[in-house]
Amino acid sequence: MQFWELFKTSWLSLRTNPRRSLLTIFGIVVGIAAVITIISLGNGVKKKMLSELQATSTGKQTTEIDYYSNNSTAAMGFNHQDLEKIKGKFSKVANIKVNNPVHRVTTTALVGNQAANTRITLLKKPAADFKLLAGRKITADDLAVANPVALISEKTAKKQYGSSSNALGTAVEIKHISYRVVGVYRSNKSRYKVSFLLPKRVFYQQNTLDNGNTIKMTFNHGANVSQESKQVVKYLKKHGSQHKQGSYEYFDIGSMLKSVAKVIDALTVFISAIAGISLFIAGIGVMNMMYTSVAERTQEIGIRLAVGAQPRTIMLQFLLEAVMLTVTGGLLGFLLGVGLAKGISLALPFKAVVTFSSFLLAFGVSALVGILFGLLPAKQAANKNLIDILR
Partner 1 sequence: MIKLENINKYYQQGGNQYHILKDINLTIGQGEFVSIMGQSGAGKSTLINIIGFLDDQFEGSYYYLNQPIHDYTRRDFSKLRNQNVGFVFQNFKLIKNLTIAENIALPLLYAGQKRKLIKKQIVQALTAVGLPASEHKKPTNLSGGQQQRVSIARAIITQPKFLIADEPTGALDSQTSKEIMALFKRLNQQNNTTIIMVTHDRKVAAQGERLIQILDGKIISDEKIGVKA
Ligand X SMILES: Nc1ncnc2c1ncn2[C@@H]1O[C@H](COP(=O)(O)OP(=O)(O)OP(=O)(O)O)[C@@H](O)[C@H]1O
Sites of contact with ligand X (CB under 6 A): 387-388, 391
Give, as one character, the DSSP assignment of residue 159: H
388 touches which of ligand X, partner 1, none (CB within 5 to 8 A by kind)? ligand X
Which CB sits closer to partner 1, 88 or 308? 308
Q: Between 260 and 315, whose beta carbon lies closer to partner 1?
A: 315
* Cβ proximity to partner 1, 4 vs 356, nearer residue: 4
- Rounded to a whole number of angstroms, the minimum distance from the CB of residue 306 to ligand X is 15
111 contacts: CB under 8 Å, gap ≥ 6: 118, 156, 160, 172
* CB closer to partner 1 out of 175 and 384: 384
Minimum distance from residue 311 beta carbon to ligand X (Å): 18
Q: For ligand X, give the closer residue by CB, 6 or 386.
A: 386
Residue 287 φ/ψ region, left for φ over 0, alpha for ψ in the -120 to 50 degree band, beta for the rest: alpha
Task: Give the total residue count for the chain.
Answer: 391
If one counts every other C-beta atom within 10 angstroms of the C-beta of residue 36, the result is 27
How many chain residues interact with partner 1 (CB under 8 A)?
Answer: 27
Select from 73, 308, 347, 356 the one that contacts partner 1 (CB under 8 A). Answer: 308
* Least Å from the CB of residue 12 to partner 1: 8
- Residues 6+ away with beta carbon under 8 Å from 373: 283, 284, 286, 287, 290, 322, 326
Looking at the Cβ atoms of 307 and 387, the one nearer to ligand X is 387
Which residues are bridge partners to 134 per DSSP?
Answer: 184
Per partner kind, with CB cut-offs from 5 to 8 A, the member of ligand X, partner 1, none near residue 152 is none
Classify 349 as helix, strand or coil. coil
**Looking at 6-14, 21-29, 33-41, 96-104, which segment touches partner 1 (CB under 8 A)?**
6-14
Q: What share of the chain is helix, strand, coil (3-state, %, to 5)?
A: 55, 20, 25
Taking residue 173's Cβ as centre, other Cβ atoms within 10 Å add up to: 16
**Nearer of residues 70 and 383 to partner 1, judged by Cβ:** 383
Among 60, 187, 245, 311, binds partner 1 (CB under 8 A): 311
Cα torsion 106, 108, 109, 112 to 10°: value is: 140
CB of 303 to partner 1, least distance (A): 5
CB 181 within 8 A of CB 170: yes
Member of 96, 257, 305, 327 binding partner 1 (CB under 8 A):
305
Q: Which residues contact 107 (CB under 8 A, 6 or more apart)?
A: 117, 118, 120, 174, 175
Kindly indicate which of the ranges 38-46, 162-170, 298-306, 351-359 contains the residues binding partner 1, using the contact rule CB under 8 A. Answer: 298-306
Contact 240, 77 (CB under 8 A): yes
312 to 351: interface string for partner 1, x by CB under 8 A: xx--------------------------------------
Measure the CA dihedral 167/171/174/179, to 10°.
100
Question: Rounded to whole angstroms, how far apart are CA atoms 92 and 224?
Answer: 9
Q: Which is nearer to partner 1, 281 or 303 (CB)?
A: 303
Minimum distance of ligand X from residue 386's CB (angstroms): 10
Q: Which residues bind partner 1 (CB under 8 A)?
A: 1-2, 4-5, 8-9, 12-13, 16, 299-300, 302-313, 386-387, 390-391
